Structure 1
Amino acid sequence: MTTFAQEDSLPRVPLPTLEASCEKFLAWCEPLLTADERAATEAEVTAFLRPDGPGRVLQAALEEYDATEGVHSWLDTFWPYRYLGRRDRIALNANFFFLYKDSDQPQVERAAGLIAGAVNYKRQLDQGLIPPVVQRGVPQSMVQNKFLFSATRIPGAQQDTVRAPYSAQSPGPSTARHIVVFFRGSMFRLDVLGADGAPHSLDDLEAGLHAVMKAGAEPAAVDTSVGHLTTMARAEWAAARESLLACHPRNADALEDIETALFCVALEDFAPADTQEACDELLYGDRGNRWFDKALSFIVFADGRAGINVEHCELDGTTILSFTDALLTTPAEEHSSQSGARSQGLPALEPVVFELDGDLRAQVRSAADAFTVFGNNTATTTVSFADFGSNAAKALGVSPDAFVQLAYQLAHQRAKGHLGATYESIATRQYRLGRTEAMRVVTPGIRDFVEVMEDPATDKATRRAAFRAAAEQHVARAKECQLGQAPEQHLWELELIQRRRGAELGVTEQPSLYRTPGWLTMRDDYLSTSSAPSANIQYFGFGSTSSRCIGIAYVLLPDRFNLYLSTPLAVADQMRTYAERLREAVAELRELLAPERSGD
């Protein structure tokens, strides 16, 4: 079966009923509310659900949209709003990274191998040879793979767009033959495919990268590295992009080179001091050596360590995991051979140059300075459990994800003195154009479990029973989310319909439900969590989502468990306390559950 053959036969994302989503919404927010807050929220849900209430009108509009010819899913307008509609900076706030497993290859050899692997993956993708992913016998959507190569986010004043192949403007796979390589703040267009479409050999690629480093040996002036502009808030970057185009005709050609490039490669002239610094550099390292709007940017440090920074609007972690596994489980030489690469001499190479006036130079420098400050106002840390992984959790008779999520909640209670709204990303790629569902982790079972654990009078049996009950609720809710039976995105889309079409539909004011303690509390993240299980990566990471949120990106493997935490600098101490409490919670829960398995 070819890569995209089954897309049209996948089931549609189910549209929940209004009653089901409202019922779940009340149940999901209840553990975080006081009695008065619950009562106030329930009253507004009742009003929302009235036969003549706004919920009925908005749901009818959504049902009509879902049934419209050409619409793939009731989420077709939701996803562009959620990702392309955000107006803050995407660098650090939205893009995510993977730190790849270590290699003993030197920098240029490592970079050439990654290029060869990516080019081979594209060749297979173009020919439909990447087999569709199947999980537990269920085929998954592969459509995100169309946004791996030559895909670039384009800033807009109101909403961004995506420039990509497989589109009306560019039907079929990308025909680009080049990548863009960054070194010391300069950009270079480097051909990785020859004139006849045959990939360059590994030796050719290494020669090309060495040529880039020679040509870019002199660091570029900060105010000439236009990549800094991609760190700006989106409307500001959109205006700056228009200024670039108006400044000189050559700038349109430079943008064309970048936006159509298969992907970017950033060669760094330093080696990170440790793993955490490597992670930080992958997430928000800049120095003019990034184009954060590019779908894929490989980053290779001077010591050969490497990873990837991913623009999130069309790509989720599951797709990048499959790509990474394909890239790193096969030797570069084999990728090169499979792709039909051959020696063709030094690849075509030319600098990507922008013509800048004084105002644009000042704007580039200002963007660089502002992003440096923004990065410095972010606190991060890594947490690693070398003696714990999914096998250990399974040996204790519990779902690995339930174990770690319960540990997160216990640690949060102990670090901050209370529970808080927690987001977990759940993949829904078994549906047509499926992406993710928003799971809210704090259940009544988790609330009760934490209370029991914090009560010194409770015995082990009581604590174990509370843990088991909470874990069962967690697994059950995750399965509901996998099946699209979750309230948040549904109710959020109804709110967005009111914003877009309220006057037309006669719902001229935002329904009060969206100002209730339940809605506001449930969506005010204290923890934002997502997992990326692959033996080919060491760490996965993203920025926090609010002024007090801790972002938790975790790699949970059979034999290890690694986390990257991020939070605003103002609450860095709380994050570090949380990390300590988490180490203690994992050890405590392992001890709590172990005797039960041994007959204690």
Structure 2
Amino acid sequence: KDYHSHLSPHPRGEKKTPQKNFSPLSHHFLPTLFLVFLMKHCFHISLLPIPELEDSIKRYMAAQKPLLGDSEYRNTEKLAKAFKNGIGKELHRNLIELDKKNFHTSYVTGPWLDRYLSSRDPIVLNFNPFITFKRDPQESYNDQLVRATNLTVSAIKFLNSLRSSILEPDIYYVNPQWSKSKAFKRFLSLLPTSVSWYGAYFAQAYPLDMSQYGHLFNSSRVPKQGKDELFSDHGARHLLVMRNGHFYVFDILDPIGNILHPYEIQAHLINILQDGETVAEYPLGYLTTENRNTWAAVREQLLQAGNEESVYKIDSAIFCLCLDSFRIENSSHLSHCMLHGYGYNRWFDKSFSLIITVDGSAGINFEHSWGDGVAVLRFINEVYADSTKHPAVVPKRTAAVLCSANVEKLQFHLNESIRSAVTVARQKFDKQRHKMTVKPFEFRKFGKQYVIQQRMSPDAIFQLACQVAAYRQFGKTVPTYESCSTAGFKHGRTETIRSATVYTKRCAQAFIIDRKKYSAQELRKLIESCSKYHKFLQMEAALGQGFDRHLFALRYLAESRGDPMPEFYQDPAYQYINYNILSTSTLNSPSVFLGGFGPLVPDGFGIGYNIYDYWLGCNITSYVERDLDKFLLDLEGSLNDFFDVFQGRSLK
């Protein structure tokens, strides 16, 4: 169906004739039929397409429909039409011209990176997400020292595979069984990077863009006034280790790229654990939690005070290993630890930090400007599998402690102004982190397999449950953001799935306001309509046919040229749809225990969720604990209602 052509709410039972016959079949990440069609017509990864302006406006108005009253909608429709036929047409034409000149990248790559780097908000809580590893299946390997060594060795093995061009490409499989074929993996790993795509193509396996991996190692975000920069030095061979706010470095690679012996790495970590027993008096890691302009100014003071070499060693390190000095108490404590910690033992500007607590809980906190979850999740999956199947060190065999000269403890010259800045940053960070509430949620009545048996989309069902819960809480449909990867295209980043629709609004009203008027069969049909439309939106987004990135790029173009801001973008409705109360993202992986991120707005929720075969769960963040508790109750109630409907039971 061309759903966008008839999205005005209509009375129950009224039917509309679809204008097109698009089957809304899709996979949550990349839609099978359309991706195969797309990839079969090009022997390379295509550039992200620029949607037609008329289509983007149509999709935009469809997303606005459930959020606005009739008069507001008419006003927004008028502004959208004027934009489409006026300045928007010119901006769209100019964007296409620029895209043709910049054939080496996508039209949104530069503006999207600039959006991240230009933000002056602190990156912790606002941008940096986290993902936690599952525990090692062998509990004795969850000792902090053992697990830190094994995960570090596996991470460096991943680095060497990447740099040796023998890392298998990220692949979307038309036939997922190919991913389990050792023969195919062996064949693909032997192909040079320049032709690996062709080998995969003939097996109907389509590599995804992997350009983000270039910033995974030896990289940092550097604060600058007005706009930050990304820094990389791939020639650096040292690892950065943080312990109680102290910084240590040691070369983990030799000059030709060979990794140190695992027990030598373990010996270095023993030295560090024995040295850093007390928290640093002025932990510089707090500075990375500051407003970016404030941090940029203090960084200049650090450099001027004679700390250039130490700062460079932090920025250029392969990655940051954070050895925390406490145990994890529960899932909420784990989330707090990985999302923000206590501030003093983090350097949030690093491309990623590997965090390991005393009890062996482990996770990744990563800076978001350089890349998205696809690259980090691949890294986590590889590292977890290698560290558990092929551990580099074993428990009860401790390396001999080497001379501490092999480990350098970074020293800093701090004047009174820098000390004061650290103190202020700590106070601000502590105040903000105490506002953050993180709570896990599990629902055990059904999972992916059951929903598929109902011939519906598991992702759509969870998203619908969030919509019904939000409607209960706010008494209306609220702006919602669901992230969708566009890694099927060159330099693809993400597109937004607008999960709040006229279908979810109608369904929420039926479950909340008129629940006794509907039979179980009628409610099921409403749920099915939501599922079909959600899959259609997923398909559009994965194929670069959403509206958010397109409209963003047009606005960015106008701003970069110094043009007056079009009235379309000044519309309160445009501001509101981008004030996302619900920010959602899924992280399904056999290696991941949980993940999460902060809310996008002060009164919103950050929802990281997983859909397993027989149950589903999520990890939700909020700055208002009372609101979060209510949302969790409403979410559980919504899923229970769905289960009753699936079982054919009418609601009471």
Does TM-score exceed 0.5, indicating one fold?
yes
- Structure 1 residue 560, shift from structure 2 partner: 3.5
Q: Residues 320 and 350 of structure 2 are in contact (CA less than 8 Å); yes or no, is this contact kept in structure 1? A: yes
| Paired position in structure 1 for 2:634 | 581
- Structure 1 residue 333, shift from structure 2 partner: 7.3
| Paired position in structure 1 for 2:498 | 440
Pairing partner for 1:282 from 307, 330, 338 = 338
| Paired position in structure 2 for 1:85 | 118
| Paired position in structure 1 for 2:198 | none
Q: Mean alpha-carbon deviation: is it higher for 113-122 or for 61-70?
A: 61-70
Cα shift readout 1:452-479 (whole Å, capped 9, x = no counterpart): 2121211111100111011101100110
Pairing partner for 1:266 from 319, 322, 325 = 322
Cα shift readout 1:265-318 (whole Å, capped 9, x = no counterpart): 111111022111011111011341000000110111111111111111112111
1:557 maps to amino acid = Y
Task: Tell me: CA distance 1:267–1:441, structure 2 relative to 1, closer, same or farther (3 Å).
Answer: same
Which whole-Å CA distance do the structure 1 matches of 2:607 and 2:486 have between them? 20
- Structure 1 residue 112, shift from structure 2 partner: 0.5
Which whole-Å CA distance do the structure 2 matches of 1:495 and 1:435 have between them? 18
2:356 maps to amino acid = V
Task: Tell me: CA distance 1:588–1:434, structure 2 relative to 1, closer, same or farther (3 Å).
Answer: same
- Structure 1 residue 76, shift from structure 2 partner: 3.0
* Residue 125, structure 1, aligned to residue 162, structure 2: yes
Task: List alignment gaps of at least 5 residues for structure 1.
Answer: 1-6, 166-173, 338-342, 503-507
Matches within 5 A, 1:245-256: 245-248=303-306, 251-256=307-312
Cα shift readout 1:314-341 (whole Å, capped 9, x = no counterpart): 121111111111111123673649xxxx
Q: Residues 521 and 648 of structure 2 are in contact (CA less than 8 Å); yes or no, is this contact kept in structure 1? A: no
Pairing partner for 2:73 from 14, 19, 38 = 38
SS of the residue 1:44 aligns to: helix
Q: Residues 226 and 354 of structure 1 are in contact (CA less than 8 Å); yes or no, is this contact kept in structure 2? A: no
| Paired position in structure 1 for 2:485 | 427
Which whole-Å CA distance do the structure 2 matches of 1:595 and 1:123 have between them? 55
| Paired position in structure 2 for 1:73 | 106
| Paired position in structure 1 for 2:423 | 365
1:472 maps to amino acid = K
| Paired position in structure 1 for 2:55 | 20
Pairing partner for 1:114 from 147, 151, 154 = 151
Q: Mean alpha-carbon deviation: is it higher for 440-449 or for 75-84?
A: 75-84
Which whole-Å CA distance do the structure 2 matches of 1:24 and 1:485 have between them? 9
| Paired position in structure 2 for 1:505 | none
Which whole-Å CA distance do the structure 1 matches of 2:429 and 2:93 have between them? 44
Q: Residues 47 and 103 of structure 2 are in contact (CA less than 8 Å); yes or no, is this contact kept in structure 1? A: no
SS of the residue 2:647 aligns to: helix
| Paired position in structure 1 for 2:540 | 480
Task: Tell me: CA distance 1:14–1:197, structure 2 relative to 1, closer, same or farther (3 Å).
Answer: closer
Which whole-Å CA distance do the structure 2 matches of 1:386 and 1:265 have between them? 35
* Residue 9, structure 1, aligned to residue 44, structure 2: yes
| Paired position in structure 1 for 2:613 | 558
| Paired position in structure 2 for 1:512 | 567
Task: Tell me: CA distance 1:477–1:453, structure 2 relative to 1, closer, same or farther (3 Å).
Answer: same
Matches within 5 A, 1:385-464: 385-454=443-512, 455=514, 456-464=516-524
| Paired position in structure 2 for 1:161 | 229
- Structure 1 residue 154, shift from structure 2 partner: 0.8
- Structure 1 residue 190, shift from structure 2 partner: 2.3
* Residue 215, structure 1, aligned to residue 275, structure 2: yes
- Structure 1 residue 63, shift from structure 2 partner: 1.3
Pairing partner for 2:384 from 303, 328, 332 = 328
Task: Tell me: CA distance 1:566–1:335, structure 2 relative to 1, closer, same or farther (3 Å).
Answer: same
SS of the residue 1:555 aligns to: strand
| Paired position in structure 2 for 1:181 | 241
- Structure 1 residue 234, shift from structure 2 partner: 0.9
Q: Residues 535 and 557 of structure 1 are in contact (CA less than 8 Å); yes or no, is this contact kept in structure 2? A: no
Q: Residues 200 and 344 of structure 1 are in contact (CA less than 8 Å); yes or no, is this contact kept in structure 2? A: no
Task: Tell me: CA distance 1:333–1:468, structure 2 relative to 1, closer, same or farther (3 Å).
Answer: closer
Task: Tell me: CA distance 1:441–1:287, structure 2 relative to 1, closer, same or farther (3 Å).
Answer: closer
Which whole-Å CA distance do the structure 1 matches of 2:613 and 2:313 have between them? 42
| Paired position in structure 2 for 1:61 | 94
Q: Residues 249 and 409 of structure 2 are in contact (CA less than 8 Å); yes or no, is this contact kept in structure 1? A: yes
Q: Residues 270 and 401 of structure 2 are in contact (CA less than 8 Å); yes or no, is this contact kept in structure 1? A: no
Which whole-Å CA distance do the structure 2 matches of 1:279 and 1:369 have between them? 21
Q: Residues 268 and 401 of structure 2 are in contact (CA less than 8 Å); yes or no, is this contact kept in structure 1? A: no
Q: Residues 133 and 591 of structure 2 are in contact (CA less than 8 Å); yes or no, is this contact kept in structure 1? A: yes
When normalised by structure 1's length, the TM-score is 0.91
- Percentage of matched positions with identical amino acids: 29
- Structure 1 residue 387, shift from structure 2 partner: 4.8
Cα shift readout 1:489-530 (whole Å, capped 9, x = no counterpart): 11122112111103xxxxx42111112243122211110000
Pairing partner for 1:139 from 166, 182, 207 = 207
Which whole-Å CA distance do the structure 1 matches of 2:327 and 2:444 have between them? 24
- Structure 1 residue 404, shift from structure 2 partner: 0.4
| Paired position in structure 2 for 1:4 | none
When normalised by structure 2's length, the TM-score is 0.84
- Structure 1 residue 49, shift from structure 2 partner: 2.2
SS of the residue 1:213 aligns to: helix
Pairing partner for 1:311 from 367, 370, 375 = 367
Q: Residues 335 and 438 of structure 2 are in contact (CA less than 8 Å); yes or no, is this contact kept in structure 1? A: no
SS of the residue 1:129 aligns to: coil
* Residue 100, structure 1, aligned to residue 133, structure 2: yes
Task: Tell me: CA distance 1:108–1:540, structure 2 relative to 1, closer, same or farther (3 Å).
Answer: same
Cα shift readout 1:408-447 (whole Å, capped 9, x = no counterpart): 1111112222210100000110000011101211111111
Task: Tell me: CA distance 1:433–1:195, structure 2 relative to 1, closer, same or farther (3 Å).
Answer: closer
SS of the residue 1:9 aligns to: coil
Cα shift readout 1:328-387 (whole Å, capped 9, x = no counterpart): 1123673649xxxxx998482111121110110110111111101111122221112345
* Residue 239, structure 1, aligned to residue 274, structure 2: no
Cα shift readout 1:526-582 (whole Å, capped 9, x = no counterpart): 1000011112111110000112111101122223422111112xx321111001111
SS of the residue 2:579 aligns to: coil
Task: Tell me: CA distance 1:193–1:477, structure 2 relative to 1, closer, same or farther (3 Å).
Answer: same
Q: Residues 22 and 45 of structure 1 are in contact (CA less than 8 Å); yes or no, is this contact kept in structure 2? A: yes
